[in-house]
Amino acid sequence: MLSYRHAFHAGNHADVLKHFVLVQLLEYFNRKDKPYLYIDTHAGAGCYGLEEAFARKNAEFEDGVARLLARKDVPAELKSYLRIVRDLNPPGRLRLYPGSPCCAAPLLREQDRMRLFELHPADNRLLHQTFAEAGSKVMIKEEDGFTGINAFLPPPSRRALVLIDPPYEVKTDYRTVLTALKECLRRFATGTYVVWYPRLTTMHARELPEKLKRLPLDSWLHVSLDVKKPSEDGFGMHGSGLFVINPPWTLPETLKTVLPWLKDVLAQDDGADFVLESQIP
Ligand code: SAM
């Protein structure tokens, strides 16, 4: 079943948290010259037109990235992420939003490579269009990212950042994330892995971070940001979370600075809150 289209959600509060952290991680990777591989197991369409029908339907970006762009008091740590958004758009307008591959692309250097998986044929086609000029630097596969990733691990340079961002439209995604990560860690234990998950009232969503902590890990960080109270009927996402395996030591401090501001700016009611926990030896 492939009914999920990220275009409906592009630039929402969950994209803000995910893409901000992604940019932070890539900037940390760029501190060393040694090449790395950026792998996106669920890449989406790459770039989203916010004036098109999909994105306009619920206009989720209006309560997401648009709120940040309207502020004059943005913390320094968020500026690289917002610069990537602004660089895609005419001055003062928000027509396009960069998905994860388009947040990563401007940060990758000559020596780095990007490997993208996207199963939806329409989004895969859009991804090919976006990266038509990229040559061998970018490889796009219309395969299951959960298993396709194995072909790239370990990378020759022994440096990789992996984003695992499934839609969770099927409950089995929660289990498959764990199975896939176990195999990734067996092949390449020192990679940096980022798992996105939705904050929902369902048991599967609530239990995922605890299950991730029980993997054989030396170092991890968990961050979640709720923008509102869970709905009474239990439907809908009230926030999102990221679990980072082998995070940079700088990430907890960066998040500690930024999360209170993000919580205030993205809050939709007084249920807005965040969690930040980590184990970094
Ligand atoms: N990572 C993107 C971003 O941040 O801009 C958003 C990705 S969206 C949440 C999830 C995507 O995964 C959808 O475009 C969906 O078609 C795709 N997808 C679903 N199952 C997949 C699978 N097993 N392998 C690869 N792609 C898959």
Residue 75 within a domain: no
Q: Is 115 in the pocket of ligand 1 (CB under 6 A)?
A: no
Question: Of ligand 1's atoms, which has the minimum distance to the CA of residue 117?
Answer: 25
Which one from 112, 165, 173, 226 is the annotated catalytic residue? 165
Per residue in 183-241, pLDDT (tens digit) is: 999 999 999 999 999 999 999 999 999 999 999 999 999 999 999 999 888 788 999 99
How far, in Å, is the centroid of ligand 1 from the Cα of 195?
12
CB 176 within 8 A of CB 195: no
Residue 264 within a domain: yes
Q: Does pTM surpass 0.75?
A: yes
> Can you read off the two tokens belonging to residue 158?
């022994």
Question: How far is residue 244's CA from residue 219's CA, in Å, rounded to a whole number?
Answer: 9
pLDDT of residue 233: 82
Residue 101 within a domain: no
CB 10 within 8 A of CB 61: yes
Which amino acid is located at 22 in the chain?
Answer: L
**Residue numbers of the domain that contains 162:** 13-42+107-279
Report H helices in 108-201.
121-130, 145-148, 172-187
Per residue in 169-188, pLDDT (tens digit) is: 999 999 999 999 999 999 99
Question: How far is residue 241's CA from residue 260's CA, in Å, rounded to a whole number?
Answer: 15
User: How far from chain centre, in Å, is Cα 167?
Assistant: 11
Based on the structure, what is the number of domains in the chain?
1
Question: Of ligand 1's atoms, which has the minimum distance to the CA of residue 166?
Answer: 10
**Is there a catalytic annotation at residue 269?**
no
Per residue in 7-62, pLDDT (tens digit) is: 889 999 999 999 999 999 999 999 999 999 999 999 999 999 999 887 788 899 99
Residue 51 within a domain: no
